[in-house]
Amino acid sequence: MEGEKCSSHRLLRSVKNRFGSTDELGVFEMSQSGLQAVSNPSEMFLSEQQSDSEFLAGLAVTVIMDGSRAFLIEIQALCVAGSSVSRQVNGVQAGRAEMIISVLIKQAGLKLQENGVFLNVVSGVSLSETAGDLAVAAAICSSFLEFPLPVGIAFIGEIGLGGEIRTVPRMDKRINTVVKLGYKKCIIPKSAETSLSALDLGDTEIVACRNLKEMINIVFRKR
C-alpha cells in the first residue's frame, strides 16, 4: 500500500510473475465508510491541474502505465535562480532527473547551471518509466521560461542523451487515454506518428517532435 501520509488516497499494488508479469495497480480513497475504489485515477491525480495550469508555470501532464492501466499524472517543476545549485526530487528517479536537466543544458541550450531545480509528482505516485521524460523536461522549461502551459496538453516520450525524443511501449493505449479524457493536444515522438495513424483521435491534435529543441520551439513559442 503506497501513498503520501497527508493524502486520503492509497495505491494498492499487486505483483505476480507466474506465466509472465501481471502487475496491477488499484487506486483507493479513504472515506468515512472505509477504503473506496477510485474508478478514474486520472481525475484524482489532475484534480487541481485544470484550475492552476493557465496561471502557474512548471506544470506538465504525462501518461503512465501501471500494470494494464493507463492514467494521467501531473509533474511539477520549480527552477530557482541564484539559489544553491541543488536538485530535489519527489516521485522521480534522481539519476533520471539529473540526466534530463543535463540534456536540457547541453542539447536545448537552457542555462540551468545556476538554478536550483525541484521536481514533484502529484499524489505520491512514483514515476518509474521513461515515458514521463518529456513531461519532466516540459515542466522544467515551463518554470525556467516562466511560461505556463495551456490546459489540455499532454507529453509522452523518452529523452535520449542527444536530445532526441524516443517512442515508448503501448503508445496506442496512452494516446487513447488522452483522447478519452478530452485533451486538446498531445506531444509525442516523431517515430511513433505512423503507428498511431489508425487511431480515432477525435478532437485531439497529435504533434510529433524529433527532439527537445523542436518541442520547445513548438510548445513555448509566444502566443
Q: Residues 16-28: what's their mean pLDDT? A: 55
The maximal CA–CA distance of the chain, rounded, in angstroms, is: 53
pLDDT level of residue 31 (50, 70, 90 thresholds): low
Q: What was the pLDDT predicted at 46? A: 56
Query: Which ranges in 65-116 belong to alpha helices (H)?
Result: 94-106
> CA–CA separation, 128 vs 121, rounded Å?
11
User: Which grid cell sits at 88?
Assistant: 530535489
HSE at residue 194, side-chain half, CA atoms within 13 A, is 1
Q: What was the pLDDT predicted at 14? A: 57
Residues constituting the chain: 223
Domain map of the chain by residue range?
41-219
Overall CATH class of domain 41-219: alpha beta
User: pTM score > 0.85 for this model?
Assistant: no
* Tens-place pLDDT, residues 151-184: 899 999 999 999 999 999 999 999 999 998 889 9
